Homo-oligomer: A and B are copies of this chain.
């Protein structure tokens, strides 16, 4: 067992029951405390932990680290150290915050420099993402979309069961939870029209996704095998891949989604490590037909992560519109990364690879309004009595995710972002 995952460990930092951030989580993020400088940190309960301060005060002396490894404005360099060093750091954090360890617990001077109430720090983008890839790996989602827009009897395209379909997204507009996103303008072709019109999208949607963040890959030209892939995956975040369905429908043939997607994507701020998710491995769906040899793998590569999406209209309470689970994914992250690099494509530390919309088998588990409203043929009722087929201006969309095996709950917190009106 990974040392930091010990389910029996308790911390001397208070952790409320049901918290996403017990001592067994120890995610990594980047934050700035009030009147202080940017640092890499972790979170236990509702306490943000300044790892650069910890290092300066000697708490990581037993690990061979550069002295400024945590004094960074992104996790990229830390991630690039590799999973072994990342694990050593996480294990050491678990040790320092163990209820029985007095080193820091009883040092008020140090605690004042290291610990901050999480609501008094500003979370920043955890990584600099040069390249962002979006997969399309939920069979249920691909089947729903194919059924609505093509042919219910041939909903999956011929390649879908043979390879994890994916495409490149735009990294410049990936923002952190809390940052609003503006409704995009663009071209759409109204039904029965003979020419397109221009204006704000009238079908803005969320997509419930998760993204994994890669380590430093092999040199360009080389491939990462399924046996090696886990060494190149650092951790995961919640990912809302904002989408404009009307722009998408008009623009996406033949080269794929473009303006319909690149106006914004929102992520949760704490990167939960693959180490922390280890206890929640599960088998994925059976893959039939059999995949090509390079996509075969051994062991359980899916993860049991409960997911939910809420919509909060302006000035109103939130209504849950979707409950899904990451375990439904047909193609797993190991296969995605292997496929992505089988042609020699270079992967850098901090790159993001998102899952695609995570829809489950039941209508209440569909991960987008497109599916929940079945292409606007039905609406979702909000707590304030209003109805939604797509997202309205000033709605806030909130996604949450957590694992719970009855012993320990490991969560991702949330990604929450408000859709502002289009800018004139």
Q: How far is the CA of A292 from the CA of B423 in the complex (A)?
A: 18
A313-330 at interface with B (beta carbon < 8 Å): none
Q: Is there an interface contact between B221 and A423, defined as CB atoms closer than 8 Å? A: yes
Q: Is there an interface contact between A254 and B251, defined as CB atoms closer than 8 Å? A: no
Tell me if A171 counts as interface (CB < 8 A to partner B): yes
Given known pairs A182-B344, A256-B254, the reply for A173 and B220 (CB within 8 Å) is yes
Q: How far is the CA of A347 from the CA of B198 in the complex (A)?
A: 21
Instruction: Give the size category of A's interface with B.
Output: 35 or more
User: Which residues of B have CB within 8 Å of A235?
Assistant: none
Q: Determine chain A's interface SS by DSSP, over half rule.
A: loop
8 Å CB contact of A351 from B133, B172, B257: B172
Chain multiplicity (copies): 2
Q: How far is the CA of A254 from the CA of B249 in the complex (A)?
A: 11
User: Which residues of B have CB within 8 Å of A420?
Assistant: 221
User: Which residues of B have CB within 8 Å of A221?
Assistant: 181-182, 263, 420, 423
A370-398 at interface with B (beta carbon < 8 Å): none
Q: Is there an interface contact between B167 and A343, defined as CB atoms closer than 8 Å? A: no
Q: Is there an interface contact between B162 and A196, defined as CB atoms closer than 8 Å? A: yes
Nearest chain B CB to A211's CB is how many angstroms away?
A: 15
8 Å CB contact of A423 from B172, B186, B223: B223
Q: How far is the CA of A422 from the CA of B420 in the complex (A)?
A: 48
A144-179 at interface with B (beta carbon < 8 Å): 157-159, 162-163, 165-173, 175
Point out which of A157, A163, A184 has the most chain B C-beta atoms below 10 A from its C-beta: A163
A135's nearest neighbour on chain B, judged by CB, is B255
Tell me if A297 counts as interface (CB < 8 A to partner B): no
8 Å CB contact of A136 from B247, B255, B264, B423: B255
* Contact mask for chain A residues 335-346; partner B; CB cutoff 8 A; 1 contact, 0 none: 000011011111
Tell me if A258 counts as interface (CB < 8 A to partner B): yes
Tell me if A101 counts as interface (CB < 8 A to partner B): no
Q: How far is the CA of A196 from the CA of B342 in the complex (A)?
A: 15
Tell me if A187 counts as interface (CB < 8 A to partner B): yes
Tell me if A185 counts as interface (CB < 8 A to partner B): yes
Q: Is there an interface contact between B170 and A345, defined as CB atoms closer than 8 Å? A: yes
Nearest chain B CB to A420's CB is how many angstroms away?
A: 8
Q: Is there an interface contact between A172 and B347, defined as CB atoms closer than 8 Å? A: yes
Point out which of A252, A255, A263 has the most chain B C-beta atoms below 10 A from its C-beta: A255
* Contact mask for chain A residues 285-323; partner B; CB cutoff 8 A; 1 contact, 0 none: 000010011100000000000000000000000000000
Chain A residues proximal to chain B, CB less than 8 Å = 130-131, 133, 136, 157-159, 162-163, 165-173, 175, 181-182, 184-187, 189, 195-198, 201, 220-223, 244, 247, 250-259, 262-264, 289, 292-294, 339-340, 342-348, 351, 420, 422-423
CB<8 Å pairs between A and B, sample of 22: A130-B130, A133-B170, A159-B187, A159-B196, A162-B195, A165-B254, A166-B255, A168-B168, A168-B169, A168-B170, A172-B347, A172-B348, A173-B220, A184-B343, A185-B344, A196-B292, A221-B423, A252-B256, A254-B256, A259-B342, A262-B343, A344-B423
